Amino acid sequence: MKKLFFFLFFGFIASPVFAQFNADSFLKTIADKQDTVKIRLILNECWRQIYNSPVEADILGHVALDLIQKGKNREKEAEFLNYLGRIHTESGKFDSAYIFITRALRTAKEYPDSIQLAFAHGNLGQYYIRIAAYPAALEQFMQAYSVFSKIGHSRGVAYALNDMGEVYLKQKDFTTALDCFQQSANLKLKQTDQYGYIKTLINIATLYENKDMLDSAKIIFDKALEASRNYKNLFGESQSLAGIADMKLKLGDFESALDKTLQALGIVEKLGYINDQLKNYVRLGKIYLGLNDLEKAKYYIATVKSEAEKIRQVEFVMISYLLTVELAVKQGDYEAAYNALRKKEELEDRLFGSEPNNKIANLQTAFLTEQKERENAALKKELEYQQTIENYLIVIVVLVLTGVILLIFGFRAEKKAKKILMELNESKDRFFSIVGHDLKNPFFALENLAAILHEEYDELDEEERKNLVGGIRRSSSQISKLLSDLLTWVKAQKGEVKLNKAELTIESIFENITSPYEAFIHSKKIDIKTEFEPDFTVFADRFVIETILSNFLNNAIKFSFHGGEIVLGAAKNEGKTEIWVQDSGTGIEPTVRENIFDETSTVTRPGTNNEAGSGLGLKIVKELAEVHKCELRVESEPGKGSRFILIFP
């Protein structure tokens, strides 16, 4: 939700102004242009008018298509076919829509155009959604996503994700749908695609409305409505009004629902979008049922059924049966209610029964498998390089552990040797796990990001390049931190940490430990505060104390919520010096807290932003505290944060 509200408040920029559009007037202004120039100008105008003047835009599309076929220059043919297929789908002209879209598919294959091929798959998916063939729709959207991903077309990827989310929303798979919508919204914001972003916002709001999260839905619908009006996006305005009407219906505010629905209906009737007209007729049927105006309710329910049957909109036919049940019950005609319910259930089983759901589940599995295979192919070189590094690390670890084991056998009794060997094996397994997993992941990310930057540098805009460089920096920092922890852990295990104590100011210690985490702190908007007397000092080894406190601070940031607070403090208590790091984050369960410094503990927890950890940090803290002869204490309560304390004698 935090990401979502960021999008809402910062996602919109100054809006352009649109005049009333007329296709004939526009064509007169370009009449003296060459055909190739006309085609380009018409194409640009088509996409500007698709949401506000679809009828006029349809005229332009046919004119351009005639010019293309007349001149036998078919480079843009697939794009105009896709465009006409999209308009006819929204207008309920499904037969002609299917013809245009399948022609676009063939043309994009014949005159290779991967972008239009992917858009044709997406448009065919929208056609299948309208006729309630959801598995077929999802299959087409996944094909579109696959093609867009392969060619690096991020705008297309965003649309494919939004379309996939719509299918999952129809199937009530809210978790998968929300994930698709949020990924799509992220991409559309980066591309400043306001029309596409508004569409995705409305889908997210609709999802929350379906889950009865009405407060969240209202905020998003209101923002979408405001943005749609700013951008003169009539289609977005109608969908936002319709969504608000649905919320009013749920709250029993029938008069407000009626007002919003009539506004939405007026817009889509002007646009000629039959699918959205049917949706508003359904709302009117529900509203008049709620108002007990049964004659008007009957009229709109009958209108939904007759219009839906004309264009083979099976889902709306099913909805009309459901409304007929409610109408018949109110009229006391239970036989009619029973017959309508039976027909509704037959259609519902066709649309949402186990067979369609199984197909969708299989498609999702196939999609994830293909995505994983693509990632594996891209990382093949990195795997080979990383395998070499792993082999060297394993040899080093085996040599170190072998030496330790030989010492143990030479100087310890058999019983104690067995215990130590067990602990070493656990440490070895943990070390191999870190090398094989925790170190591998950032290496993978680093190689992948660098490859994208190298291979697609010219196609990327400045913002995308900055994002990739930022990702490389974060992966490098993660690798550096993990390697530093590994080396410190090995030194502590071998007893090679030598103390060099001196009088240190607490102020310099806190400055040194916070500096490396400034970006991490800033990204989570955490407020860092300090509590200590001026000129407070401690007699200690700088490396040891700063390593311990750095681990405390790293965990505090990791488990703090966005906008949280962390306190770094020091004071004298009963003759001892105490230095602490305190956060207001997730806190620790008592059972975990009791064994938190146990060397055999393997428990790791993700942070509040799913930050991963190696599990080495607190092991290093305990080792170094013992070397320095310090005490450790932790105070924590679940949900209220934690306080880690280092105590000097």
> What pLDDT score does 15 carry?
35
Distance of CA 174 to the CA centre of its chain: 13
> What pLDDT score does 32 carry?
84
- Tell me: the pLDDT tens digits for 176-230? 999 999 999 899 888 888 888 899 999 999 999 999 999 999 999 999 999 989 9
Report the relative pairing of strands 527-531 and 565-573 from DSSP bridges. Answer: parallel
Q: Is residue 144 part of a domain?
A: no
Instruction: Examine the fold and report which residue of 458, 493, 528 is the final residue of a domain before the chain moves on.
Output: 493
Asked whether the predicted pLDDT for residue 72 surpasses 50, the reply is yes
Asked whether the predicted pLDDT for residue 587 surpasses 80, the reply is yes
Q: Is residue 352 part of a domain?
A: yes
Number of folded domains in the chain?
3
Which of 3-12, 357-366, 467-476 has the lowest average pLDDT?
3-12
Q: What is the pTM of this model?
A: 0.50
CB 59 within 8 A of CB 23: yes
Strand order across the beta sheet in which 576-583 lies: 527-531, 565-573, 576-583, 641-648, 631-637
- Tell me: the pLDDT tens digits for 367-393? 555 555 555 555 565 556 566 666 666
> What pLDDT score does 383 carry?
58
> What is the Cα–Cα distance from 375 to 444, expressed in whole angstroms?
10
In 272-333 the beta strands, taken as DSSP E runs, fall at: none
Whether residues 458 and 551 share a domain: the answer is no
Give me the chain's average pLDDT, please: 79
Residue 12 pLDDT level (bands cut at 50, 70, 90): very low
Residue 100 pLDDT level (bands cut at 50, 70, 90): confident
Whether residues 516 and 626 share a domain: the answer is yes
- Tell me: the pLDDT tens digits for 30-58? 888 887 787 788 877 877 776 667 778 78
Q: What is the CATH number of the domain that holds 294?
A: 1.25.40
Q: Is residue 401 part of a domain?
A: yes
Which of 69-83, 320-334, 488-502 has the lowest average pLDDT?
488-502
Whether residues 594 and 633 share a domain: the answer is yes
Q: Is residue 618 part of a domain?
A: yes
Give the residue numbers spanning the domain of 607.
501-648
Which of 126-130, 179-183, 481-485 has the lowest average pLDDT?
481-485
Whether residues 511 and 639 share a domain: the answer is yes
Instruction: Examine the fold and report which residue of 360, 378, 396 is the final residue of a domain before the chain moves on.
Output: 378
- Per-residue b/e over 163-191, b at no fewer than 16 CB within 10 Å? bbbbbbbbbebbebbbebbbbbbbbbbeb
Better-scored residue on pLDDT, 209 or 416 = 209
CB 169 within 8 A of CB 132: no
Whether residues 271 and 344 share a domain: the answer is yes
> What pLDDT score does 424 carry?
53
Which of 6-10, 338-342, 508-512, 531-535 has the lowest average pLDDT?
6-10
Better-scored residue on pLDDT, 377 or 531 = 531
Give the rounded percent of residues in the chain with a pLDDT score beyond 70. 75
CB 166 within 8 A of CB 144: no
Q: Is residue 174 part of a domain?
A: no
Both tokens assigned to 439: 């170190």
Whether residues 581 and 609 share a domain: the answer is yes
Q: Is residue 466 part of a domain?
A: yes
Q: CA-based angle 116:117:118, to the nearest 5?
A: 90
Whether residues 521 and 610 share a domain: the answer is yes
Which of 80-89, 453-462, 631-640 has the lowest average pLDDT?
453-462
Better-scored residue on pLDDT, 160 or 88 = 160
Q: Is residue 325 part of a domain?
A: yes
Whether residues 350 and 423 share a domain: the answer is no
Q: What is the CATH number of the domain that holds 518?
A: 3.30.565.10
**Cβ neighbour number for residue 604 with a 10 Å cutoff:** 13
> What pLDDT score does 554 carry?
85
Whether residues 278 and 357 share a domain: the answer is yes
DSSP code for 15: P
Whether residues 614 and 627 share a domain: the answer is yes
| Helix or strand (DSSP H, E) at 562 | none
> What is the Cα–Cα distance from 90 to 22, expressed in whole angstroms?
20
> What is the Cα–Cα distance from 173 to 246, expressed in whole angstroms?
20
> What pLDDT score does 379 carry?
53
Residue 459 pLDDT level (bands cut at 50, 70, 90): confident
Report the relative pairing of strands 576-583 and 565-573 from DSSP bridges. Answer: antiparallel
Which neighbouring-strand residues pair with 571? 578
The amino acid present at 119, given as its one-letter code, is: F
Asked whether the predicted pLDDT for residue 408 surpasses 60, the reply is no
Cα atoms in the Cβ-side hemisphere of radius 13 Å centred on 260: 23
Whether residues 515 and 637 share a domain: the answer is yes
Instruction: Examine the fold and report which residue of 493, 518, 542 is the final residue of a domain before the chain moves on.
Output: 493
> What is the Cα–Cα distance from 80 to 381, expressed in whole angstroms?
41
Better-scored residue on pLDDT, 18 or 384 = 384
> What pLDDT score does 532 carry?
92
Q: Is residue 196 part of a domain?
A: no
Whether residues 482 and 505 share a domain: the answer is no
| Distance between start and end Cα atoms, the chain | 47
Distance of CA 334 to the CA centre of its chain: 47
Q: In sequence order, what are the residues at sequence separation of 6 or more whose Cβ sits closer than 8 angstroms to the Cβ of residue 507?
A: 530, 532, 536
Asked whether the predicted pLDDT for residue 340 surpasses 70, the reply is yes
